[in-house]
Structures are given as C-alpha cells and as structure tokens.
Amino acid sequence: MWRETYAKIDLTCLAHNVRALKSCLAPNVKLMATVKANAYGHGAVAISLKVLEVGADQLAVATVEEAVQLRDAGITTDILVYGALPIEAADAVVSHHIMQTVFTLSDCFALSQAAKARGERCRVHVKIDTGMNRLGVKDDEEAVALFTMIHDDPWLDLVGAYTHFTSSDEPLCDLALSETERQRQRFIDMISLIKAKGIAIPVLHASSSAGLLRDARYHFDMVRPGISLYGYHPSPYFGQDVDLRPVLSLETHIVRLHSIAPGEAVSYGRTFIATKMERIATLPIGYADGVPRGLSNVGSVSIRGVKAPIVGRVCMDQMMVLVTDIPDVQVGDKALLYGGDVGSGFSLTDAAQQLDTITYELLCRISDRVKRVYSQ
C-alpha cells in the first residue's frame, strides 16, 4: 500500500454490535444483516463473513450484482435482494440461488420462466407498500392476485413478505399518533387478507435498525439492521442504552509541511487567507476518496490528538489542515478524519451534523481507492 490513506475496519466492534442487537430480540426472531452498498462502505465480503460467523442468519443487498458478488466469494447463506428485479437478471437470480423481492405479476412471471428453464425453484419475498411509496404492492386486490400467482406457481416459493417504515426513527409518542404504528397495522391487515385466502407466509419482516431498537412489536419474525451493525444509532430518541461501537475509522498521513505568510491563501478560490504566519499540512485524501467538499473551512482532523482545522477547499485528491498549534508535528504523522468519540469533532456523527446529512451517506461516500484494512 503506497498511499497511506485507508479505512480501518475493526471486526471485533462489528461482532460486538451484532451480539448487542441480537440481545434485543426474542430467541425466535432472525437477524438479516444489511450489507448493501459495499456494506455501507466497509467491504461487503469481509463484513458478510464476520456477521454470519457471529450470529446473523441471513444477508440482504440492494441489487442482483451485489448478491452475485457475495456468491462468487463463496458465501452460500440466504441473500435477499431489496431492489426491483431487472427482467434480464431473472436467470442470474435463479442460477445463484438468490431470494428476490417481487411486487408485480411480471416480476413473478420472469422468475418463474427462468426457474422452469433451469429446472430449479426460485424463492421470493413480496414487498408491501404501506406508506413509503417507493417499491411494493399497495392495493389489496393486486396483492391478492400477486400472492395467489406465487402460491399457485410450481416454480416459485413464497419465502416471506415485508414492508419498510418511513419514520421509525421518529420520537416515541402516543401509539395511535405514530406513523410507524399506522404502517404496522396496514401491514398486518394485508397479511391477514392474504392468509384468509389460505396462503401461508413463512417469514414476516418490517424493521431496519430503528424499528429494531424502537419496540419489539415491530420485530415480527425477522429484523434487517443496517447502520446499527456499523456502530451508529439510527435515532437520538431511543435505543441509546444499546452499546454500539463504530467499526470504521478513516485515516491518512501528512505528506508535506510548510509555512505561509500573512496574505497568502490556501487551495482553490482563496477561501482561506492567512492573517499571520501559519503552518500548513497537506494530506493525500480528498473528495474523490469520499471526504465531502462541504467540510472545506468547516471540518477538522485529529493529529497527535490535537484538532487541526481543514483550511481552504477540499480538493479531489488532497486537502490542507492548519497545524500551527500542534507541537513537533512531522511529515508522516497520522491524521484521523473519522473515528473519534461523538463530540470530539472527529466522529462520523460530528461530521454528519456539520454537513446536515446522515452517517449513512458519509460511510457510502468512501471510495474504492481507499484501502480497507481489517483487524480482528
């Protein structure tokens, strides 16, 4: 590794988080680990292997391509694709023994045809739209037709049905006023309608991290944590008693130190101009690596345990920080961008708050050219 810029992934923290989340569940409730988007930037294969080792029951991804990647890595456990089925991917779903989300008759027909051609059954989960208005079957009559088609098709296996909450991270309130409770009840009503037709649904699930931590009534038969696996609480309003540990830290090293005089500027656009002699450190990391340009002149890094403000605009491949007040700083010193405790100024949560975004986005921004280094 020539460029000393990397994301350190602590698999011990990941294992701790899986166990902490499982402790919130009844023994019969399964845990489906969400490892889409390269496991939120942590590395899908390594993360999948570890979560399965320490107690996750199944995996979930967003696309067929992501599922195939895991299969090609030798992972044989159940994998659900959350996203819509590209019809041309039906054969890949069947041949790689992937569980596919369906919500239209055409989805089911394509998978049935692909399964018949291979002489293998295809397992599906039906997505029910209870208010997200993104994917899923919403109308009762359409739902009955969809479930009936799957039930009657000799090449399809109905494995489960699920929904997704829009606001399960909202403050706890009167149950009757909760949008999450309204969605839960809508889900139950549609499932009851389907079961009344004599159709059995083996697994029901609805909760991502927030629903998991919110209340056991949202757990059903399985939960689908994502961000909490990686060490972040999905809501400030509840679940803080569950000890979650950030898995990733983003680090680089100083490659240049130099001084600038009053009146000299740093980086594009001259957005930082020195008013006195200053010491500047250049770091080999930029927005192509996933550091948001919005942190320009706002964010900071930690060098030798001391805050070093980002000065000037973050560039594509480099950024500059102010080290005037850091004694004995040297080329080669480590700079920590994300990985400190909340409130330290160096945590992912702190950066997300500065940028008015969420930790999920910042994790997913970290590009493939940042090497992932794993520790047990």
What residues are labeled active site? 36, 268
List, in sequence order, every residue forming a beta bridge with 69; answer none if it has no partner. Answer: none
CA atoms 367, 369, 370, 372: torsion sign: positive
Round to whole Å and give the CA distance between 7 and 1. 12
What is each CA distance from 335 to 4, 287, 300, 328, 367, in whole angstroms?
10, 16, 10, 14, 18
Q: Which two tokens stand for residue 1?
A: 């590794």
C-beta separation of 310 from 293 below 8 A: no
C-beta separation of 122 from 157 below 8 A: yes
Round to whole Å and give the CA distance between 19 and 152. 39
Planar angle of CA 73, 209, 375, nearest 5 degrees: 45
Strands (E), 49-150: 58-61, 79-81, 99-102, 122-127
DSSP readout, 333-372?
-EEEEE-S-TTSS-SHHHHHHHTTS-HHHHHHHS-TTSEE
